[in-house]
Chains A and B, each alone.
Chain A
Amino acid sequence: MDRDEGEWLIRFREGDLEAFDRLVDAYQRRFLGFFRSLGADPETAEDLTQETFLRIFGARETYTPDAPFRTFAFRIARNLWIDRYRSRRARPAERSLEDEGAEEWESEARSPDEQVAGDEEIELLVEAIRRLPPKHREVLSLIVGQGLSYPEVARILDIPLGTVKSRVHAAVRLLRGRWENERRRASRARRGREGGSS
């Protein structure tokens, strides 16, 4: 949509509902995916997406077309997520990376059959992503999930670029550690089964 985006956005700023429809078409799946990756269930993600669009529409006059629309849009989406997160009041304690030790991960018993490879490894990673501390999860979601650049994410989250990089680095390191643990365990389980059957 890059080619026409500038024109749409100008019309959108003027309150043109047709232009707004096109933005909705272009971004609805992205917002849904963003909220899902942050841990929202499908219904909540849908509500949040709808609310995000309405907030975007309400704030259209503050948008300047010379800035990337997706930065503007995802900033609103992220703020909405924080609002929703906050409204739960009982805020879950954020776990630091140090707290997220391998022991906790290993304590979750899975049958060896579930620990083979490929698709199941991906599922393990999906689960691991959902268990990341929120700050790391949102950075990963925006960069890997939504394909935004590091500077864009820094602008959306209003944090220094270096902080974005360090969060990505830390998140990947943590996920990698868990992934390796799971692979080793799967390998041990396979060897055990082979030894038992011979």
Chain B
Amino acid sequence: MNCEKARDRMLAALGTAGGLDALEDEVERHVESCEDCSAERRFLVSLCAAMRRASAAKAPPDLRRRVREGASRLLAEEEARAWADLGRWERVRATLAYFADRARRSRIAAAAAVLLLAQAALVGISWLQDRTADRAPPARPGLHARSPESAGEPRRAPAEPASSEGSSGSPGSALADGPGVEPPDEPLRIDGIGEEDTLLAEAETGPPPVSEIRRLGLENRRQRIRYRMRGRFLPPEDSPSARAVHRAHRFLVALQREDGAVDPTYAGGGKEGTTAATALAVLAWLSDARSGRPGGVHARAVERSVRYLRRQVRPDRQVGWVRGDSELELFQHAAATAALVEYAVLTDRLSDPLAADVLERLVDLARSRQTSDGAGPDVVGSWVAFALELGRSSGLEVPFDLDAPAAAVRRSLLAERPPGALGLGPLLGRECDAALDALGGRRRESVRRDPGGLLAFLRRASLREPTLVLFTTLDLHARGGPLFERWRQELEGVLLESQRDDGSWPLEFVWDDVQVALGDVYPTAVFSMALQVPRRWSR
């Protein structure tokens, strides 16, 4: 036993039940015989005492009562929500079950019958009201009470200094769009792309049929890739959702520094998140036809940020700072890769060697992190998968098998439903499993049979994890159908209602260093991407 080992063991003992009083005999002997180590132990004992003093607190007598009252309120709200979520006949069944139970216990069957009849009458009235409402213009469903703004009325304009986008690069200078803030009326023209490309930009999604390929002259591979990668990119629309996206993009522009970096420290994040924030902002801007694409109102902001990202590529092809053990480090590289690839595709620079380089580096990183069973990607892993699929869809070489985690998802949850076109099932599957575990028991089985139950869970979790929202939206969009429509409407309702006046969304929950570093840039960029999914991505 030497001094170094003895001190390590003493530090380790701080995290054990016995603490410094339960040192191993070997360590104890050494400490007693060594003056330095003995002093170290005295210091650690003092440290424990100091920490006890720093943590000293007396519980106020009414804390328990206050917590109890708060919990009771929460419980009542949950029950009210659960009741509201029940269908008409489920309410009748629940009421029957309740009174049957009461009658059994207290033998007041007559009273129960009266109340049951009253309930039936209420249900009847509710049914009649529904019939009446069906004839009125349909109200958009939402999770919460709708504000006038989210029902389509314009929100109060965010206060912004009236400077032009390029006039200042200082963070927080609120680079406004000036007169161009409102969506342009004319369809977007793409610089450097001819008539054929404009047709492509306006084209609908899906693999182009042979006749379309001939008509548009999509004879070579690159043209077809561009056709697919542009997705829909429908002409600008003037909807509450589009306005929300635009406000979010302006918020991100306002955070841009002179050097092109998007600075998250002005949005509650840390400077270590600058590269990742810049990458997310670029992805967000590029997701909007009228915003980030060449010729869009934020095109210059995109150019500046892309130049910044390119400057962050190190000689070993990794983007940003490197510490070796950080989730944020991997996240920033994945997000930057996705941003550079997306930009290369949209500006017809697929031959850009830098995009291929960072993608190759991402493959190395992904391989080094993949678990032995091929599954288990977390939120950051899902961004890795996203960037890899983006690269692959762009026609770049991506020697990485994403099928293994996707297959695990298929097996575990959605056997009859293939994962989405982007292979983003791993995230959805993992979260679904967590959701199902949380729901537990028979409800788990019912959720397996009924994806509507899944929707209910995701709605509850939506604002807490923007990445989950984005990839779920992508996945459900790829599946299409009424399920996606329901999801989209719910999502718009929630997001439009929770958006701040300055265009940002608040960070609701912190899971790891990524959210800490990115602050409100994270939900703002990712939610705006989620709102754009139906317009940006093909099925």
- Is B44 in the interface zone, CB < 8 Å from A? yes
A153-179 Cβ-contact flags toward B at 8 Å (1 or 0): 100001110110100110010011001
Could you say which residues of chain B place their CB within 8 Å of the CB of A179? 43, 46
- Decide: A24 and B67 in contact? CB cutoff 8 A: yes
Bound-state Cα–Cα, A37 to B49, Å: 12
CB distance from A68 to the nearest CB of B (A): 13
Q: Number of residues in A with C-beta < 8 Å to the partner?
A: 64
Q: Which residues of B contact A61 (CB under 8 A)?
A: 438-439
**Is B159 part of the contact surface with A, judged by Cβ < 8 Å?**
no
Q: Number of B residues contacting the other chain (C-beta, 8 Å)?
A: 53
Q: Is the CB of B55 within 8 A of A25?
A: no
> A122-B50, A125-B47, A149-B15 are contacts. A54–B507 as well, Cβ < 8 Å?
no
A162-B15 contact given A49-B63, A58-B74, A140-B51, CB 8 Å threshold: no
Name the residue in A17, A37, A141 with the highest tally of chain B Cβ atoms < 10 Å from its Cβ.
A37
A76 and B72 alpha carbons, distance in the complex (Å): 20
* A156–B172 CA distance with the chains assembled, in angstroms: 33
In A163-197, the 8 Å CB interface with B consists of: 163, 165, 168-169, 172, 175-176, 179
Q: Which one, B16, B47, B75, contacts A15 given CB within 8 A? A: B75
Q: Give A129's nearest chain B residue, CB to CB.
A: B54
> Closest residue of chain B to A169, judged by CB?
B11
**Among the listed B60, B68, B78, B510, which residue makes an inter-chain contact with A46, where contact means beta carbons less than 8 Å apart?**
B60
Q: Which of B516-539 contact A (CB under 8 A)?
A: 516, 519
Are B71 and A20 neighbours in the complex by a CB distance under 8 Å?
A: yes
Q: CB of B127 within 8 A of chain A? A: no
B236 close to A (CB within 8 Å): no
Say whether, besides A33-B56, A126-B54, A145-B52, A82 and B14 are in contact (CB < 8 Å).
no
Q: Contact between B510 and A45 (Cβ–Cβ < 8 Å)?
A: no
- CB closest residue in chain A, given B435: A62
- Does B265 have its Cβ within 8 Å of any Cβ on chain A? yes
Q: Which residue of A lies closest to B12 (CB)?
A: A150
A28–B75 Cα distance when bound, in Å, is 20
Let me know if A45 and B57 touch, CB within 8 A.
Answer: yes
Q: Is the interface of A mostly helix, strand, loop or mixed?
A: helix
CA of A7 to CA of B70, assembled, Å = 23
Q: Is B512 located at the chain interface by the 8 A CB criterion? A: yes
- Chain B contact surface mostly: helix
Q: Hey, which chain A residues are within 8 Å of B67, CB to CB?
A: 20, 24, 28, 50, 53-54
The residues of B that contact A149 with a CB separation of less than 8 Å are 15-16
Chain A residues 38-62 with CB under 8 Å of chain B are 42, 45-46, 49-50, 53-54, 57-58, 61-62
Bound together, the chains give a CA A141 to CA B338 distance in angstroms of 39
A-B Cβ contacts below 8 A, count: 145
Contacts of B52 in A (CB 8 A): 145
- Which of B14, B51, B68, B437 has the most chain A CB atoms inside 10 A of its CB? B51
Q: Are A122 and B57 in contact (CB under 8 A)?
A: no
Question: Is the C-beta of B59 less than 8 angstroms from some C-beta in chain A?
Answer: yes
Complex Cα distance A144/B325, Å? 24
Interface assignment of B214: CB less than 8 Å from any CB of chain A: no
Residues of A within 8 A of B59 (CB): 28-29, 32
A87 to B508, CA, bound (A): 11
Interface 1/0 per residue, B207-245 and A, CB below 8 Å: 000000000000000000000000000000000000000
Contact A126 B510 (CB under 8 A): no
In the complex, whether B376 has a CB less than 8 A from a CB of chain A is no
- Contact assessment for A34 and B15 in the assembled complex, using a CB-CB cutoff below 8 Å: no
- A24 pairs with B64, CB closer than 8 A: yes
Partner of B325, one of A49, A64, A153, A160: A160
CB neighbours of B509 from chain A (8 A): 79
* A158→B511 contact, CB < 8 A: yes
Q: What residues of chain B lie closer than 8 Å to A123, measured between beta carbons?
A: 50, 53
Shortest CB–CB separation between residue B438 and chain A, in angstroms? Answer: 5
The complex places the Cα of A57 from the Cα of B519 at a distance, in Å, of 26
Instruction: Give the distance in Å from the alpha carbon of A21 to the alpha carbon of B265 in the complex.
Output: 40
A172, B46: Cβ atoms closer than 8 Å: no
Interface residues of B in 231-261 (CB under 8 A from A): none
Assess whether A147 is interfacial by the CB under 8 Å rule: yes
Residue A89 interfacial (CB < 8 Å): yes
Q: Which residue of A lies closest to B53 (CB)?
A: A126
Distance between Cα atoms of A61 and B440 in the complex (Å): 9
Q: Indicate if A110 sits at the interface (CB-CB under 8 A).
A: no
Quick one: closest B residue to A171, CB to CB?
Answer: B47
Bits for B331-350, please: 1 = Cβ < 8 Å to A, else 0. Answer: 00000000000000000000
Contact yes or no, A17 B71, CB < 8 A:
yes
Cβ A153 vs Cβ B68 within 8 A: no
Task: Tell me which residues across on chain B come within 8 A of A130, comparing CB atoms.
Answer: 54
Is B17 part of the binding interface, using a Cβ–Cβ cutoff of 8 Å?
yes
11 residue pairs from A and B, CB less than 8 Å apart: A20-B67, A24-B68, A28-B64, A53-B71, A91-B265, A122-B50, A125-B49, A140-B51, A145-B52, A148-B15, A179-B46
A-B complex: 10 closest residue pairs judged by Cβ atoms: A33-B55, A125-B50, A32-B57, A37-B55, A144-B51, A150-B15, A145-B55, A53-B67, A37-B54, A28-B59
Can you add 10 more A-B contacts, CB < 8 Å, to A32-B58, A126-B54, A165-B12?
A37-B51, A57-B71, A58-B74, A82-B510, A86-B519, A91-B268, A121-B46, A145-B55, A172-B44, A175-B47
Q: Which B residues lie at the A interface, using CB under 8 A?
A: 11-12, 14-17, 19, 40, 43-44, 46-60, 63-64, 66-68, 70-72, 74-75, 78, 265, 268, 270, 325, 327, 434, 437-439, 507, 509-513, 516, 519
Interface residues of A (CB under 8 A from B): 15, 17, 20-21, 24-25, 28-29, 32-34, 36-37, 42, 45-46, 49-50, 53-54, 57-58, 61-62, 64, 79, 82-83, 86-87, 89, 91, 94, 121-123, 125-126, 128-130, 140-141, 143-150, 153, 158-160, 162-163, 165, 168-169, 172, 175-176, 179
